Structure 1
Amino acid sequence: MATHSEYGASTTATEVAAAFAGQIKGKNVVVTGISPASIGYTTVLAIASQQPTHLVLASRTQSKLDIVVKDVNAAHPGVKLHTVLLDLASMDSVKAAAQSVSDLLDHVDVLINNAGISTPERLANTAPDGTPVDGQFLTNHLGVFLWTSLLLPKLRAAPTPSRIVNLTSQGHHLSPVRFSDYPFTKGVYDVPEDEKPREGLPPFFLRTIDGYPGFLGYGQSKTANILHATEMARRFRKRGDQITAFSVHPGTIETELSRSLDQEGQETIAKTAPAGLWKTQDQGAATTLVAAFDPALREVKVGGEGQPLGYLSDCQLRDDMVADHAKGVDTATKLWTVTETMLKHTVDL
């Protein structure tokens, strides 16, 4: 159970940061996916308000990072900010960025994997081992998996128990991981029963462009984010590491992506929000901060059969909101194994 049972959809990251000021002060925090007017932006602003020792901002575009650094410095002077270029679609970039973080910090207390993409159009790509994959899966899962694994030595070096937070989405309900069709070349339904989208989805989510169902591709990657977090946490516990991992649904938030949707898209997405209400960016970052800093969550033993999944929504643990296809230990273990094969990278875990 989280510390503040009264927190909910309207709680802001600013409020959460103030409540957990003692957990943030003096910490080294790494956050990915930083750009102006994003959840990442409000996440780092809130964290910076409570005197972390080092705050590393990792993203693809230096000019956007520079804008955020300027804003954070203006609001909270004195925080040690560092920027790192990170393109999760490029494994070479991931390796270089992880090395940069390792050169900057002697340890990492909190790693927030906020970065990700969502696109309706096919981004055909291949994993390092040559396996054809969807570009959303490459960026949102394979890149995040490699990046996180390369930072494990720094997370293990933290003087107090460290945390990893994967941002996922209720969009994970749209699709399981397609172990038989990672790039979505077989269409919407021509896959085994346990890899098909659930029945009754609004037609909007099943739209295809040149045969590619972009929302299902996004859903697959978000399912992978949950399975990745729970499998990490399970392995940390088994190994005796003082690290845990959580996955977070930030809520229905107005972003550049949502503003680009047509009327049908806007209406369909709005229906996924409780009472049709969209969160502000500050509200959208609140659950991330709870997952990252709430001391009560140290007692949550995430991972393993019969154990909590560590999924948070509206600032509370909400395993009941997780689709069955994102819950199974066997599925999580299988994804971990095939991911290591795709990346040609074995994790020390």
Structure 2
Amino acid sequence: MATHAAYDAGTTATEVAAAFADQIKGRNVVVTGISPASIGYTTVMAIAAHGPANLILASRTQAKLDAVTADIRKAHPEVTVHQVSLDLADVNSVRKAAASVAAVVDRVDVLINNAGISTPERLSAKAPNGTEVDGQFLTNHLGVFLWTALLLPLLRTAAASRPARVVNLTSQGHHLSPVRFSDYAFRQGLYNVPADEKPRDGLPPFFVKTIDGYPGFLGYGQSKTANILHATELARRLKASAHPEDSQISVFSVHPGTIETELSRSLDAEGQETIAKTAPKGLWKTQDQGAATTLVAAFDPALKEADVAGGAVVGYLSDCQLRDDMVAEHAKGADKAKRLWTESEKLLQFTVDL
């Protein structure tokens, strides 16, 4: 369980960072997906306020990195900030970015995989092994999978002296779609796949809309399911690893909530109404509230993963609390998590050192 039972949907990242300031001070923290007016921005600003040793910002847009870096240095000039160019859809960029991190720090105490995309239109893509995949799956899962694996040596170094953390940003949007192992690219239509890969029954029509045959929200849902299964299997393998320090690396997945962003504000009236219904009592979170759960997952020393034996979800947080009960059945189970891990290694042509 988390330390602060009173934390809920209204809790802010500012509050959480202050509560766990001693866990932030002196740590090396890597955060992806940094841009102004985003929860990534709020996340790093809250962390910067409490003296991390190094704050490493990774994003694909240099202008956004520069803007956020400038704000941190203005508010907290004592904080050492490093910039890393990272495009999760490009395997070569992921490799170069991981090398860039290793060039500036010798350990990573906390890795926050905040970056992700959501698009209604098809982004055609191929995995390194030539398999066609959805662009959202490539960016939101395969890129994150490889990036995290490449940073494992630095996480191990940190964990040799103090517990380390990996946090995957996912979403309740994972309920929209399982991982479609037979059709990662959504080329076979919505329902022409095995029963356990179909979208769940009764989805609002807005979520199954297609553009040129592509259901953007289902593509997003598949990638968010993958984020949870990745966290589950990574945690299981770390606990079973021959590296003694691996047992000191904890992994969590986080649902930040329904948040007011540029993306949500660009939705049409039907979209606004549909998304609002997914929020408790129809309330949208602020950016500060939206980043709070990430910081609990990253820094609360009392937070413990669930027992992964039997394939339980490792640790899914929502509104600053562990809420594995909110996870869809298709995002649970050892078999699914192991299968996704194995398939991800095949797609990437990369074997994780675990």
- 1:244 corresponds, among 244, 250, 262, to 250
The 3-state SS of whatever aligns with 2:31 is strand
Q: 3-state SS of the aligned residue for 1:157?
A: helix
Contact 2:250–2:305 (CA under 8 A) maintained in structure 1:
no
Please tell me the residue identity of whatever aligns with 2:286.
Answer: T
Check the 8 A contact 2:254/2:294 in 1, yes or no: yes
- 1:181–1:308 CA distance, 2 compared to 1 (3 A): closer
Paired letter, 1:188: L
2:287 maps to: 281
State the match for 2:352 in structure 1: 347
Q: 2:115 matched to which residue of 1?
A: 115
1:90-115 Cα distance to aligned partner (Å, 9 max, x none): 00000000000011100000000000
| Partner residue, 2:199 | 197
Counterpart of 1:150, as a letter, is: L
For the 8 Å contact 1:302–1:310, the answer to whether it is kept is no
In 1, are the aligned partners of 2:142 and 2:348 still within 8 Å (CA)?
yes
Distance 2:289 2:310 in 1: 32
One-letter amino acid of the counterpart of residue 155, structure 1: L
> CA offsets per residue over residues 79-99 of structure 1, 9 Å max, x none?
000100000000000000000
The one-letter amino acid of 1:36's match is: P
Distance in 2 (alpha carbons) for counterparts of 1:186 and 1:39: 34
Go from structure 1 to structure 2 and tell me whether the alpha carbon gap of 1:199 and 1:183 turns closer, same or farther (over 3 Å shift): same
Matched, 1:221 2:227: no
Matched residues, number: 348
Task: Supply the RMSD in Å over aligned alpha carbons.
Answer: 0.9
CA distance in 2, matches of 1:315, 1:262: 30
1-side partners of 2:125 and 2:224: how far apart?
18
Q: Percent identity?
A: 75
Question: 1:26-41, aligned counterparts within 5 Å?
Answer: 26-41=26-41
Look up the match of 1:66.
66
Unpaired runs of 5+ residues, structure 1, are none
Q: 2:9 matched to 1:4?
A: no
> Is the Cα–Cα contact under 8 Å of residues 233 and 302 in structure 1 kept in the other structure?
no
**Which position in structure 1 is the counterpart of 2:210?**
208
Q: Is 1:232 aligned to residue 234 of structure 2?
A: yes
TM norm structure 2:
0.97
SS of structure 1 residue aligned to 2:310: coil
Q: Report the Cα offset of residue 324 of structure 1.
A: 0.2
Superposed, which structure 2 residues align to 1:57-136 within 5 Å? 57-136=57-136
Deviation at 1:307, TM superposition (A): 4.6
Listed one character per residue, the Cα deviations across residues 32-71 of structure 1 (whole Å, up to 9, x for unaligned) are 0000000000000000011000000000011111100111
CA contact (8 A) 1:98 1:150 kept: yes
Task: Provide Cα deviations, 1:212-243, integer angstroms capped at 9, x if missing partner.
Answer: 00000000000000000010011111114121
SS in 2 for 1:133: strand
* Distance in 2, Cα, partners of 1:278 & 1:265: 14
CA distance, structure 2, for counterparts of residue 192 and residue 103 of structure 1: 45
TM-score (norm 1): 0.98
Equivalent residue for 1:332, pick from 320, 326, 337: 337
Q: Compared with structure 1, are the counterparts of its residues 85 and 324 closer, same or farther at alpha carbon in structure 2 (3 Å cutoff)? A: same
CA distance in 2, matches of 1:309, 1:319: 8
Question: 5+ unaligned residues in a row in structure 2: which ranges?
Answer: none
The aligned runs of 1:159-198 (5 Å cut-off) are 159-198=161-200
